[in-house]
Structure 1
Amino acid sequence: MLEKTFLKSILKHSFNIPVRVVFWDGSSVDYGEGQPEVTIRFNEKISIRDITKNASIALGEAYMDKRIEVDGSLQKLITSAYENAGSFMRNSKLRRILPKQGHSEKESQEDIQSHYDVGNDFYKLWLDDTLTYSCAYFTDGNRSDLTKAQKAKVDHILQKLDPQPDRTLLDIGCGWGTLMLTAAKKYHLKVTGVTLSEEQYQFVADRIKNEGLSDVAEVKLVDYRELGDRQWDYITSVGMFEHVGKENLGLYFKDVARYLKDDGVALIHGITRQQGGATNGWINKYIFPGGYVPGLAEIIGRITENNLQICDVEMLRRHYQRTLEIWDSNFNNNRDEITDMMGERFTRMWDLYLQACAGSFESGNIDVVQYLLTKGPSGRHLPMTRDYMVK
Structure 2
Amino acid sequence: MLDKTIYKQIFKASFNAPIDVEFWDGEQVSYGEGEPIAKIILHELIPIKDIMAHASLTFGEAYMAGTIEIQGNLQQLVTAVYQSKDSFLNNAQFKKFLPKRSHSEKTSKTDVQSHYDIGNDFYEMWLDPTLTYSCAYFASDSDSLEDAQWNKVHHILNKLNARPGETLLDIGCGWGTLIFTAAKEYGLKATGVTLSQQQYDYVNQKIADEGLTDQVTVFLKDYREIQQTYDHVTSVGMFEHVGKENLGEYFAQVSDRLVPNGTALIHGITGQHEGAGVDEWINQYIFPGGYIPNIAENLTHIMHTALQVDDLEPLRRHYQKTLEIWTQNFHDVSEVVIARYGERFYRMWDLYLQACAASFEAGNIDVVQYLLTKGPSGAELPMTRAYIYHADVAHGVK
Partner Cα distance (1:245, 1:97) in 2: 14
- Which letter does structure 1 place at the counterpart of 2:259? K
Matches within 5 A, 1:92-107: 92-96=92-96, 98=98, 101-107=101-107
Partner Cα distance (1:237, 1:22) in 2: 45
Query: Shift of the alpha carbon at 1:2?
Result: 2.3
Partner Cα distance (1:294, 1:97) in 2: 14
| CA offsets 1:327-373 (integer angstroms, 9 cap, x no match) | 00000000000111111100000000000000000010000000000
Matching residue of 1:269: 267
Partner Cα distance (2:4, 2:202) in 1: 50
Query: Shift of the alpha carbon at 1:387?
Result: 1.1
Kept in 2: contact 1:243–1:292 (CA 8 A): yes
Q: Residues 231, 379 of structure 1: CA spacing in aligned structure 2 closer, same or farther, 3 A cutoff? A: same
Matches within 5 A, 1:237-256: 237-256=235-254
Partner Cα distance (2:240, 2:386) in 1: 30
Stretch deviating more after TM superposition (98-107 or 179-188): 98-107
Query: Shift of the alpha carbon at 1:100?
Result: 6.7
1:89 partner SS: coil
| CA offsets 1:295-331 (integer angstroms, 9 cap, x no match) | 1111111111112100000000000000000000000
Matching residue of 1:336: 335
Kept in 2: contact 1:99–1:285 (CA 8 A): no
Partner Cα distance (1:333, 1:251) in 2: 41
1:86 partner SS: coil
Matching residue of 1:313: 312
Matching residue of 2:81: 81
Matches within 5 A, 1:57-76: 57-76=57-76
Partner Cα distance (1:381, 1:122) in 2: 42
| CA offsets 1:3-49 (integer angstroms, 9 cap, x no match) | 21121121111111100111000002111101212100000011112
Kept in 2: contact 1:173–1:240 (CA 8 A): yes
Kept in 2: contact 1:275–1:295 (CA 8 A): yes
Kept in 1: contact 2:23–2:43 (CA 8 A): yes
Matching residue of 2:45: 45
Matching residue of 2:347: 348
Matching residue of 2:394: none
- Which letter does structure 2 place at the counterpart of 1:123? Y
Moved segments of 4+, more than 2 Å: 95-102, 140-143
Partner Cα distance (1:231, 1:260) in 2: 5
2:264 partner SS: strand
Q: How many residues align?
A: 389
Q: In angstroms, what is the RMSD of aligned CA positions? A: 1.0
Partner Cα distance (1:371, 1:167) in 2: 20
Partner Cα distance (1:140, 1:146) in 2: 11
Matching residue of 2:142: 142
- Which letter does structure 1 place at the counterpart of 2:329? N
Partner Cα distance (1:110, 1:57) in 2: 21
Matches within 5 A, 1:316-327: 316-327=315-326
How high is the sequence identity, in percent, across the aligned residues?
58
Partner Cα distance (2:317, 2:250) in 1: 26
- Which letter does structure 1 place at the counterpart of 2:344? R
Partner Cα distance (2:254, 2:44) in 1: 49
Partner Cα distance (1:96, 1:168) in 2: 43
Query: Shift of the alpha carbon at 1:91?
Result: 1.3
| CA offsets 1:85-139 (integer angstroms, 9 cap, x no match) | 1211101211236377331110000000000000001000000000000000001
Matches within 5 A, 1:158-307: 158-228=157-227, 230-276=228-274, 277-307=276-306
Unaligned regions of 5+ residues in structure 2, if any?
A: 391-398
Kept in 1: contact 2:160–2:265 (CA 8 A): yes
Partner Cα distance (1:96, 1:203) in 2: 38
Kept in 1: contact 2:75–2:357 (CA 8 A): yes
Kept in 1: contact 2:85–2:91 (CA 8 A): no
1:90 partner SS: coil
1:368 partner SS: strand
Partner Cα distance (2:226, 2:128) in 1: 31
Partner Cα distance (1:147, 1:34) in 2: 38
